[in-house]
Structure 1
Amino acid sequence: MTLRRIQCDQLQVGMYIHAFDGSWFDHPFWSRNFLLRRESDLETVLRSDIATLLIDTSKGRDLPLPAQAFAQTPAEDTRTPDEKTAAATQVVNRARDVVRGVFDAARLGKAIESCAVSAVVEEVVTSIESNRHALLKVLRLKKKDEYTYLHSVAVCALMVNLARQLGIDEQAAAELGTAGLLHDIGKVMVPAEVLNKPGKLTDEEYVLAKTHALEGYRLLGEVGNLPATALDVCQHHHEKIDGTGYPHGLRAEQISEAARMGAICDVYDAVTSNRPYKDAWSPLDAITRMRQWSGHFDPQILSAFMVSIGVFPLGTVVRLRDDRLGVVIEGGRNSTRPKVLAFYSTRQREFTRNELVVAGDERSGNAIIAEVDPAAWGITREKIDRLVRLGVPWV
């Protein structure tokens, strides 16, 4: 346990609250210690009478180091972009080969080598921590004939990356990565002509394709030493919040957080990949459409996923690391460096002079750390729409 006392306005999503200072009656939550996962809960704390609190940095995020500290740290990655891409490509290729071996073994009724899976996941976790952008970029460039295996690697990486955004601890993040790597193992039991059919599936073919969730659960259950999270995600990553998913038609909180994360990572990678029957959507198109599918995904986790990959639709209200609110007015090239019109100080609780900024990386004051509901700050949607019109086009 590593405790640190911070000011209330230093609190961020992903931090683990160990205790609030002052009386139990001063804070608005039943529990005194919990992982702060949602922006809405953060805003509730900021509006309370709490002045200081204790966070446990061993269970969640710590305060960011100042910019000069990052510049001086010997652990800073000084590799060139090409070197980072080459390193990420090696990780992806090794992971792909392991996944191919796991799928082939399952197809032949042989044992799955859990040690090989664990080694791959560990390597992906390390790469996400040190080389996140390069790894996710390489995984987006998968070829159609490699989709089956690289999709599993991509979902693994996206799950670990999302866990990182949510402040989930390292061990649980690795288990989520394992779940992502193995979530589609049941597809080895579905005929290839169904999986790769270029046109729409018939009703009979669709029923057959859906069996992969339960088949995968059965296959993983025979391994015996995999984390329960892997079996859960394998079985339930096609469930939907409104109960229209499969195989069990679970609703909302009946679906575990891990399975809700898996649903988002699986769909995002699928729709942004070239497939035999469709061309890839851009990341921005994918996120925009996924947010419009009411009842499909957990909106809070989808919001965190959006932050984790740095893709924000036009008009999204966000919180910057320097405690300003801004509205996304342009996605930028490939939507990876959104342009934001900053307009409000959360510390002063007042509107500021509008400033156009390019969202920086996570060490920057301009880094986007969360999506925000403007109503929680007394800001109307009409005000946001006016700001969008003011900020476009980028000048």
Structure 2
Amino acid sequence: MRSLKTVPSGDVRLGMFIHGFEGSWWEHPFWRSRFLLTDLQDLHKLRQFRGGVIIDVAKSAHGSDPLPDETGSPERERITDVGAPSSARTAPTQRAPAPHGPAELQARQAQAAKLVAGALDTVRGTFDDVRLGRAVSQEKITALVSDISAELDSNAPALLRVLQLKSKHQYTYLHSVAVCTLMVNLARHLGLDAERVRELGLAGLLHDVGKVAIPDAVLDKPGRLSPEELALVRTHPDEGAALLREDPAIPELAIEVCLHHHERWDGTGYPHQLGGEEISLPARMGAICDVYDALTSHRAYKRAWAPARALAEMWRWEGHFDQALLFQFMQSIQLYPPGMVVRLASDRLAVVLDNGKRASRTRLLLFYDQSSARTLEPSVLVLDGGDAEDAVIGFVPQDALPAPAPAPDLPLPSVTADPVS
């Protein structure tokens, strides 16, 4: 088992390996959740986080104890004072207070809106360049991926809120920005290198570029598409890949995601009916991020679904996604659908409970201990990332559940139609 310890944010030092944060990924001040802390600005931002920080002692540069007894040592005193206001410094047993008042929250929302407005212009211009056969500005789209990454570092909650506010006329462009954001986050969770993360971000921005060939009247139609209209929409992967191939500077990975992000694990997708491992990892990632954002966004023909409901339906669509990768996506945003049976690091099994409107914590109903093969008296556990023993490390298929303790039958929302994203 990893040597994980949870400490207050005020006790974090340079050289520690950050393994995770208490709560949902969009509540902490970084767009990535696992990294070696080496930058003083990152340390300052982390000190303002009000939750606990999970440290991997084995990967840290300061030995095995993230909380040395020498609390007054010169090194500790120096790092505590660097750039951090006195209000952000906390005693080892305290948590830093919530850093943002209404005025600052409003300012952060405005900052995120400014980035999104610029991203909208950049993606719209990029789509126009592709449509007109002009070379895509690599400098602009690479800078946009970097800006999104930086905003996730410092202002993730506001950025994600703004990205959900898509009008029907902006949907295609801002959907591309949102998929870029989710792709970058998932890629970092999977431990991919920086160059691959960058390419996956670009792929997210360009995955729907083929929709420039589809009339707006079809894309924005509020009612059900006719068979002819649906067939037209399903040409956008081929159209997009053909357009991107005209620019030799576009990475092959981005073309692959554009072409195959609507393929399905069981081979029933389009345009080439690929299945299983025939679908590349980047395309499988694109499929998950694309559908998740589509389901959680308002569209001309449907209201947005809550994130937990979207994940529940995606998990239930048998054969649609690579389930192991979908679970990794859930881990990357630290959110799981009600009814899923999960395995904890403590070797206990539990069912994810409906958490109502609180999406920032996962509530579990414990029911079985695998190590002792015994049924537990049902009890509720709320995960906040603060205890390594309670980390979700896997899921259990229904057919693999222990016979003496089947998971409680929790109702899940029904789905009426497979969305067109």
Counterparts in 2 of 1:142 and 1:167: CA distance versus 1, 3 Å: same
For the 8 Å contact 2:176–2:204, the answer to whether it is kept is yes
Q: Where does residue 257 of structure 1 map in the other structure?
A: 281
Alignment of 1:239 onto 2:263:
yes
* Match runs of 1:51-90 below 5 Å: 63=56, 79-80=99-100, 82=105, 84-90=108-114
- Is 1:221 aligned to 2:213, yes or no? no
SS in 2 for 1:239: coil
Runs of 5+ consecutive residues of structure 1 not aligned to the other structure:
1-8, 13-56, 390-395
User: Which of the numbers 99, 107, 117 marks the counterpart of 2:123?
Assistant: 99
- Counterpart CA distance in 2 for 1:201 and 1:319 is 41
TM normalised by structure 2 equals: 0.68
**CA distance in structure 2 between the aligned counterparts of 1:135 and 1:288, rounded to whole angstroms:** 24
The answer to whether residue 185 in structure 2 is matched with residue 193 in structure 1 is: no
Cα offset for 1:288? 1.1
For 1:288 and 1:301, locate their aligned partners in 2 and report how far apart those are by CA, in whole Å: 15
C-alpha separation in 2, matches of 1:185 and 1:93: 18
Measure how far apart 1:178 and its partner are: 0.7
> Partners in 1 of 2:233 and 2:272 — Cα distance?
15
Alignment deviations for residues 120-178 of structure 1 (CA, whole Å, 9 cap, x no partner):
11122233344444433332232333211110001001111111222222221121111
Specify which of 350, 371, 376 is matched with residue 394 of structure 2: 371
Task: Give the distance between the partners of 1:132 and 1:379, measured in 2 at CA.
Answer: 37
Q: Which sits farther off after the overlay, 182-191 or 63-72?
A: 63-72
List per-residue Cα deviations over 1:94-138 (Å, max 9, x = no partner).
Answer: 222211111222333333211101011112223334444443333
Please give the alpha-carbon distance, in whole angstroms, between the structure 2 residues aligned to 1:211 and 1:381.
47
Given candidates 407, 410, 413, the residue that maps to 1:385 is 407
The answer (yes or no) to whether the contact 2:55–2:66 under 8 Å persists in 1 is no
1:110 aligned residue: 134
Q: CA RMSD in A?
A: 3.8
Q: How many residues align?
A: 333
- The verdict on how the C-alpha distance between 1:386 and 1:187 changes in structure 2, with shifts beyond 3 A counting, is closer
Aligned partners of 1:115 and 1:309: how far apart in 2? 29
Moved more, 62-71 or 76-85: 62-71
Please tell me the residue identity of whatever aligns with 2:243: L
> Quick one: which amino acid aligns to residue 181 of structure 2?
A
8 A contact 1:151–1:270 mirrored in 2: yes
- 1:167 corresponds in structure 2 to 191
Structure-2 residue corresponding to 1:136: 160
3-state SS of 1:161 partner: helix
Partner of 2:10: none
Larger proportion of helix = 1
Contact 1:304 1:370 in 2 (8 A): no
Kept in 2, the 8 Å contact 1:182–1:230? The answer is yes
Alignment correspondent of 1:10: 2
In structure 2, relative to structure 1, the CA distance for the partners of 1:300 and 1:72 (3 Å cut) is: farther
Q: Which has the higher contact order (CA 8 A, sep 6+)?
A: 2
Paired residue secondary structure (1:145)? coil
Task: Tell me the CA shift for residue 334 of structure 1.
Answer: 4.5
Structure 2 equivalent of residue 26 of structure 1? none
